[in-house]
Structure 1
Amino acid sequence: MYREHYCFEPPNKDSTIVWKYLKFQYFISLLDKNSLFFARPELFEDPYEGSYSNANRTEMNSLLEKYDGNSVIAQNIRALLKSSKIETDGVMLNCWHMNKEESAAMWKLYSDDNAGISIKSDFGRLKNCFSECPYPVYIGKVKYIDWNLEKIPQQNVFSPYLCKRRSFEYENEIRALVYTVRRDGEMCYIDKNQVFQKCEFTNDGIYVPISLNILIEKIYVSPKSSKWFLELVKSISKKYGLNKEIIRSNLYDGPS
């Protein structure tokens, strides 16, 4: 279920429009599993995912000078400086794009062979689609910071996953996050009775159960896609019992 968390800043309104751009094969997986895939952040293109900023590192180096080199605090600081990242394999992320309109940049990134898909939703739908999920899902906006001058809060392990360099501002990203734990070699979540339950985990992440009918408002196909692709998406959606409006984007149709 969706759960608020002080690290996560939600959009101001539930009606804030969000988009999920994805390649066709991932759309099929979404329908087939009735789940959103949450990926391990280390698989993302940005090598700074989950890292503290250079401003944090500068502060940590200053702190290191104040402690005895053999103290536990000094050892922890040195370990963090060495890796630059929070060491946890339990954070899994699912990313969305906030925008009132479609994004040409996002289409270019995700329209593989002009066969991309975009799911139009809003923050309220995104929250509510996890109503049957048995473990917490946290959702918040990504903050884009000056990596050399701005520090990331260090009070919680989630904070580094909610800050990125300003070079990525075009993503205008909102993130859903789930946190799992490893137990007896298996990735698990802790249910409401404090019992460990196994997740549907792959080497790349986990599948989080959702309600597709709640999540999806409309489905768009790539503005450069062919008519046959639009019909294919309609046919497959119908086979999976998804009754949503499916539209070919007119982003590049030109003036009439």
Structure 2
Amino acid sequence: MYEKHYCFEPPDKDSTTIWKYLKFQYFISLLDKNSLFFAKPELFEDPYEGSYSNANLTEMNELLEKYDENSIIAQNIRTLLENSKRTDNVVLNCWHTNKEESAAMWKLYSDDNAGISIKSDLDRLKNCFSECPYPVYIGKVKYIDWNLEKIPQKNVFSPYLYKRRSFEHENEIRALVHTIKHDGEMCYIDKNQVLQKHELINNGVYVPISLDILIEKIYVSPKSSKWFLDLVKSISKMYGLNKEIIRSNLYDGPS
């Protein structure tokens, strides 16, 4: 279930509108599995996902030069440097924050003619994990000058909540699940402190949700044909999802 965490700063209002842009096949997977796919960060396009900034690494290297290499402080700094990109035990699910649809997001994260966008809000995202047996943390991504600004080093989650300013257009909030490795398997600790195995598929995990709670409306691509809109309506009905489905009018001309 959703849990607060001091590292994660949520948007100011639970009513904040969020969007999930995805290709049609991933929408089918969402319906079929009744789950959101949380991906390992190394699958993302940004090679700096989960890394400390250059400003952090510069500071750590400068500190390392000040201490005897065998000192406890030097050992701790070296550990931080060695683990400056920690992706083994974290999986992420990302959403775009915006009051309206985003033309850029349609182009980046869905097929022009067969894309889907799920409209939701922060409150729905929090509550859709109510039956999930392990913690899900949610917070805004902050965009910084990678060479000049440091990421707080107070928790291993911090690097996953900061990105370079080049990605500000994503205006992202992300949900995070912290897994552990046990006997070579990806696992989690449930609310009863029981060790459970994740189903690891394509470098990620499916996290159970309530689709009815999560989804407010479904939009299909502004460049899609009527047959595609009808197909999405038919498949949604087949899976028992009773939500308004709309063809985006983003590129419709003035009437």
Q: Which residue of 2 aligns with 1:222?
A: 221
For residues 113 and 45 of structure 1, the distance between their equivalents in structure 2, rounded to whole angstroms, comes to 19
Q: Which runs of 5+ in 1 are unaligned?
A: none
Q: Deviations over 1:158-212 (max 9, x none)?
A: 0000000000000000000001111112111111222101112224100000000
* Contact 2:40/2:91 (8 A) holds in 1: yes
AA aligned to 1:141 is K
Q: Which residue of 2 aligns with 1:44?
A: 44
For residues 114 and 31 of structure 1, the distance between their equivalents in structure 2, rounded to whole angstroms, comes to 20
Please report how far the alpha carbon of residue 110 of structure 1 lies from its aligned counterpart in structure 2 after TM superposition. Answer: 2.1
Within 5 A, what are the aligned runs for 1:150-169? 150-169=149-168
AA aligned to 1:194 is Q
Q: Which residue of 1 aligns with 2:139?
A: 140
For residues 73 and 228 of structure 1, the distance between their equivalents in structure 2, rounded to whole angstroms, comes to 64
Please report how far the alpha carbon of residue 83 of structure 1 lies from its aligned counterpart in structure 2 after TM superposition. Answer: 6.1
Alignment partner of 1:16 is 2:16: yes
For residues 130 and 84 of structure 2, the distance between their equivalents in structure 1, rounded to whole angstroms, comes to 35
Q: Which residue of 2 aligns with 1:130?
A: 129
Q: Which runs of 5+ in 2 are unaligned?
A: none
Please report how far the alpha carbon of residue 72 of structure 1 lies from its aligned counterpart in structure 2 after TM superposition. Answer: 4.5
AA aligned to 1:147 is W
* Contact 2:127/2:214 (8 A) holds in 1: yes
Q: Identity over the aligned pairs, expressed in percent?
A: 86
Aligned residues: 255
Return 90-99 or 56-65, whichever deviates more: 56-65
Alignment partner of 1:94 is 2:93: yes
Q: Deviations over 1:197-229 (max 9, x none)?
A: 111222410000000000000000000011110
Alignment partner of 1:173 is 2:177: no
AA aligned to 1:238 is K
Query: Normalising by structure 1, what TM-score?
Result: 0.96
For residues 63 and 53 of structure 2, the distance between their equivalents in structure 1, rounded to whole angstroms, comes to 15
Query: Normalising by structure 2, what TM-score?
Result: 0.97
For residues 79 and 22 of structure 1, the distance between their equivalents in structure 2, rounded to whole angstroms, comes to 38
For residues 124 and 168 of structure 1, the distance between their equivalents in structure 2, rounded to whole angstroms, comes to 25
For residues 81 and 157 of structure 1, the distance between their equivalents in structure 2, rounded to whole angstroms, comes to 13
Within 5 A, what are the aligned runs for 1:1-256? 1-78=1-78, 80-81=80-81, 84-86=84-86, 88-256=87-255
Please report how far the alpha carbon of residue 113 of structure 1 lies from its aligned counterpart in structure 2 after TM superposition. Answer: 4.7
For residues 72 and 223 of structure 2, the distance between their equivalents in structure 1, rounded to whole angstroms, comes to 57
For residues 29 and 148 of structure 2, the distance between their equivalents in structure 1, rounded to whole angstroms, comes to 41
* Contact 2:112/2:223 (8 A) holds in 1: no
CA RMSD of aligned residues (A): 1.3
For residues 222 and 156 of structure 1, the distance between their equivalents in structure 2, rounded to whole angstroms, comes to 39
